[in-house]
Amino acid sequence: MKQYFEDYKLLLRSVPGIITAVYCVAVVVMNLMANKIIFNSHYVAADGGILVSWIPFLCMDMVVKRYGPRAANKLNIFALLVNLAVVALFAIISAIQIDVGAEYAQGDIYTSFNSVFSCTWFVLFGSSTAFIAAGFINNFTNWGIGKMFKKNPDGKLAYVTRSYISTFIGQFADNLIFATIVFIIFAPIYWGYSLTLLQCIGSATVGAVLELIMEVIFSPIGYSVTKKWKKEKVGAEYINLYAPEMA
């Protein structure tokens, strides 16, 4: 266990802090926004998390390229723990009730705050399960495709191919797992309505396509940053220690 935490400390020292920060913030915001449906039709539905869920996948692809899939998986777990800590803090704040005085007697001025920040437990469970599962799928798919490029593994073609394919597969898995858990299993019990399996599949597909478009737009930045990391030997201590697992 001590070695496990030492490995984590080394990883968090090695990955640039801006990547870890953006990653964690995106995961927290994504899960907050997942509480609201922003589109619903007969074949497709989408929650607000779709607007930012491409950011963690972009970060994952960059980390996989430089540090390997296991490092990205560890970062996934770290981001999930940060999200759970934030949710717990929100739950505590939302649970605190005080007398705000007669001037606010018309109603509870904190109702809106509580409705936003008191995350429903099964939404949290669904989003956490989907995020971890999709992260593992994305990271090992990205790594596996990268190994197919023998001649120029660090070229742009190799980077965009592994990023595009893994992002689409990972995002599809993320969206489908989340929608199935939340809107097919639990929503009928607690909310009194549900999505159909066709809507979940349609949502997962459309969401994956939209998020792939964002990956296409921003992947040049990811490619440029990873090239700079390699040139400047960013994270060399971690990479040298775990080089065999990334080979």
Angle at 57 between CA 177 and CA 163, to 5 degrees: 110
**Angstrom distance (rounded) from CA 104 to CA 74:** 47
pLDDT band, residue 241 (cuts 50/70/90): confident
Residue 148: CB atoms within 10 A of its CB come to 10
**pLDDT given at position 159:** 96
Helix, strand or coil for residue 75? helix
**Whole-angstrom distance, CA of residue 71 vs CA of residue 246:** 10
Q: Give the alpha-carbon dihedral of 130, 222, 230, 17, to 10 degrees.
A: -60
Residue 13: predicted pLDDT = 94
What pLDDT does 26 receive?
93
* Whole-number pLDDT of residue 33: 82
Q: Is the pLDDT of residue 193 over 90?
A: no
Q: CA separation (Å) from 69 to 36, 73, 107?
A: 31, 6, 51
**Mean local confidence (pLDDT), 220-236:** 95
| String of DSSP letters for 142-202 | HHHHHTT--S-TTSHHHHHHHHHHHHHHHHHHHHHHHHIIIIIIIHHHHTS----HHHHHH
pLDDT band at 60 (very low <50, low <70, confident <90, very high): very high
pLDDT tens figures, 167-191: 999 999 998 998 899 889 998 998 8
The mean per-residue pLDDT over the stretch 147-155 comes to 92
**So what's the pLDDT on residue 103?**
55
Which pLDDT does position 49 carry in this prediction? 79
Using one digit for the tens of pLDDT, what is the confidence trace for 98-150? 766 655 544 556 666 666 666 678 888 988 899 999 999 999 999 999 999 98
pLDDT at 76 over 80: yes
pLDDT score of 70: 92
**In this predicted model, which residue has the larger pLDDT, 246 or 127?**
127
At residue 41 the predicted structure's pLDDT band, cuts being 50, 70 and 90, is confident
CA atoms of 173 and 169, how far apart (whole Å): 6
Write down the pTM of the prediction.
0.87
Give the pLDDT band (50/70/90) at residue 15: very high
Please give the residue that has the higher pLDDT: either 156 or 107: 156
What pLDDT was estimated at residue 110?
A: 64
Q: Contacts by 104-112 with C-beta closer than 8 Å and gap 24+?
A: none
